[in-house]
Structure 1
Amino acid sequence: MKLKNKLAGYLEYCKFRKELDEKTLKAYRIDLKQYFNFVSCDEPDKEKIEEYITELHKKYKQKTVKRKIATLKAYYNYLEEEEIINDNPFRRIKVKFKENVTLPRIIPREEIEQLLNFMYNRLDENDNSVYKYRLRDVVVVEMLFATGARVYEISNIREDSIDLNSGLIRIMGKGGKERYVQISNSSLLAMMKKYFVENRTEIKESGYFFVNNRGNRYTKQSIRLMLKKYTKQAGIERNITPHMFRHSFATYLIEEGVDVSCVQQILGHSSIKTTQIYIHVAAKKQAEILREMHPRNNMKIAGAA
């Protein structure tokens, strides 16, 4: 049985049944082709698979190795569920990972405030030809921080996914999973209404809430470039990316005492383990505060080390 010939069916299953996005499908395709090119046979035995896994560890970082092996496991699980194979070799292969925890980069609160102040001040400049686009950019950056949404999720928000009266937004996440996020800041909601009024025609015609100067969807790449431009103009040296707003959103909520499961739901994480990384970031900040601000550090105690 030629297992690699089942790839097309599997990818079709992932696209239409699991509703995975194109980026994920592309990664699956690359990982599986790489695997079959290495094993150079249709039904590799346990030893050959172990050899491939060893080769992955030699070439890639742990995070990449973990993803590639997860792709293979998912593929063999599919073959087993479809009764294409009787024996799933990955049930006899144990893989352990020891990953270095990389804490997400966040934006200091004062720099977020600096950036937004600069962008709002630009709205007051007398240039009506660009007002509605500057207004759009303000709302985009505000929403990145207000919702913790990914940049492609912001880019793909449909006009009918936003209730400008209640501030409730439907966001389409990974795998076509939808979630709802509430805009709770009245000032931001007022700005969203202003933006909509200024761009109503283009929004209605495109169907997307955020549009460019040609009336098309405001792409994630355009958002990245926009953010880079304003950051530089605001005099901020840090390289701020849209995803850093997501990290900052989660970290600051946890610092304020919001339950991690609530943050998980807002971010759209399928596993709470993914969200728990922000606890480490918040704990790091807490340690800095206690080290700098705790009164015990300024006390002179006789006999203390």
Structure 2
Amino acid sequence: MFEYRPFVDQFLDYCRYHKKLSEKTVRAYKIDLSQYALFSDTLSKQALWDYIECLNKKYKPKTVKRKLATLKAFIHFLLLQDYIDFNPFDKLETSIREPVLLPKTIPLDVIAKIISFSYQQIGSAQSAYQMKCAVRNAAVIELLFATGARIAEICTLKPENVDLLGRSVKFYGKGSKERLIPVENMAVLSILKRYRLLFEDNISVSGYFFVNKLGRRMTEQSVRNMLSSYCNQCGVEMHITPHMFRHSFATLLLEEDVDIRYIQRMLGHSSITTTQIYTHVTSSKQKEILKTKHPRNKMDFQ
């Protein structure tokens, strides 16, 4: 019987140093493989079959697919290194059907209300410290909506990747894929320049563009908390998350007739299929088009 456990650390190093995967991904792989090790000491077809059944009883389809993807990646590594000579996943049914969940978006008037409130906070600040924090918060919100970036990309943004003279921001997405997003709105550029000037020393020390009161990088949770607080204060009853700005960015551009391939590139999706989910949430735009543009509307038989 093949003992796979001694090769787990080699696989994690392979992911870390050869494939250049993020430390977050490597940690997730380690957790998934540790979980499988508690379930079985073999990578046989029967063990995998039983494991899939066990996962389906405990987790949602998306989680099951991720855990199986980890195992498949590990087995691919074992095959690559000639530690095994067959793939136990061959002829094993592993397709997991996920329910299609439409992305939750924020109405444009609500986005405007949140952005407006963020600027009001600057004007009503009672101290220099409060003013600085308010400028930073407004800059974060503006950049979320202006670029459609993931919250993790915003929070790990490096100062050298923010080119305010060239009006662009460089993000590194999933799999360290690089994409350059232009920033052409003057108000967005202005608040980013104001923020950078106020936090120049902290940015230089921390090595990150957005910093917290401790001079370290701003965390994803602190952005979520800030948004929640702002929404409560300005009377927005929706539960707003940073990722909803990304969904809204894509959906609103699609409703403005922007080609989906451009949106795909700006979001950093490797496949157009991922981006196409936004076509399901533009029914109001379709209704407007058919109401105003359909040739039948020009026919009058009376």
Structure 1: which 5+ runs fail to align?
A: 300-305
Deviations 1:2-56 (A, max 9, x none): 11221111111112222222332222122222223222x33x3322321221222
| More deviation, 233-242/213-222 | 213-222
**Identity of matched residues, %:** 43
Q: Distance in 1 between matches of 2:253 and 2:262?
A: 10
Q: Equivalent residue of 1:180, what SS?
A: strand
1:99 aligns with 2:104: no
Q: Which amino acid aligns with 2:100?
A: V
| More deviation, 25-34/81-90 | 25-34
- Aligned twin of 2:13: 12
Query: Which runs of structure 2 are paired with 1:223-262 in the superposition (5 Å)?
Result: 223-262=223-262
Q: Which amino acid aligns with 2:10?
A: G
Q: Which amino acid aligns with 1:5?
A: P
- Aligned twin of 1:56: 55
Q: Distance in 2 between matches of 1:295 and 1:278?
A: 22
Q: Distance in 1 between matches of 2:103 and 2:145?
A: 15
Shift of 1:286: 3.1
Query: Which runs of structure 2 are paired with 1:124-203 in the superposition (5 Å)?
Result: 124-125=123-124, 127-129=126-128, 130-203=130-203
Change over 3 Å in CA distance of 1:48–1:219 after alignment to 2: closer
- Coordinate RMSD, CA, aligned: 2.1
Q: Equivalent residue of 2:180, what SS?
A: strand
In the alignment of these two chains, the number of paired residues is 293
Query: Which runs of structure 2 are paired with 1:208-219 in the superposition (5 Å)?
Result: 208-219=208-219
- Aligned twin of 2:67: 68
Contact in 1 for aligned 2:104/2:244 (Cα 8 Å): yes
Change over 3 Å in CA distance of 1:295–1:75 after alignment to 2: closer
Shift of 1:165: 0.7
Q: Equivalent residue of 2:66, what SS?
A: helix
Change over 3 Å in CA distance of 1:190–1:265 after alignment to 2: same
Shift of 1:188: 0.8
- Aligned twin of 1:303: none
Deviations 1:81-122 (A, max 9, x none): 111111111122132332210011111111001111111122
Q: Distance in 1 between matches of 2:287 and 2:121?
A: 35
Contact in 1 for aligned 2:118/2:230 (Cα 8 Å): yes
Change over 3 Å in CA distance of 1:58–1:258 after alignment to 2: same
- Aligned twin of 1:206: 206
Q: Equivalent residue of 2:98, what SS?
A: coil
Q: Equivalent residue of 2:157, what SS?
A: coil
Change over 3 Å in CA distance of 1:92–1:295 after alignment to 2: closer
Q: Equivalent residue of 2:169, what SS?
A: strand
TM-score w.r.t. the length of structure 1 is 0.89
Change over 3 Å in CA distance of 1:258–1:287 after alignment to 2: closer
Q: Distance in 2 between matches of 1:151 and 1:123?
A: 22
Change over 3 Å in CA distance of 1:290–1:256 after alignment to 2: closer
Q: Distance in 1 between matches of 2:50 and 2:214?
A: 52
Contact in 1 for aligned 2:125/2:134 (Cα 8 Å): no
Query: Which runs of structure 2 are paired with 1:84-95 in the superposition (5 Å)?
Result: 84-95=83-94
TM-score w.r.t. the length of structure 2 is 0.90
Change over 3 Å in CA distance of 1:213–1:49 after alignment to 2: closer
1:120 aligns with 2:119: yes
Q: Distance in 2 between matches of 1:126 and 1:96?
A: 54
- Aligned twin of 1:302: none
Q: Distance in 2 between matches of 1:266 and 1:49?
A: 38
Change over 3 Å in CA distance of 1:168–1:290 after alignment to 2: closer
Shift of 1:289: 4.8
Contact in 1 for aligned 2:21/2:175 (Cα 8 Å): yes
Change over 3 Å in CA distance of 1:285–1:15 after alignment to 2: farther
Q: Distance in 2 between matches of 1:67 and 1:288?
A: 37
Q: Distance in 1 between matches of 2:245 and 2:125?
A: 29
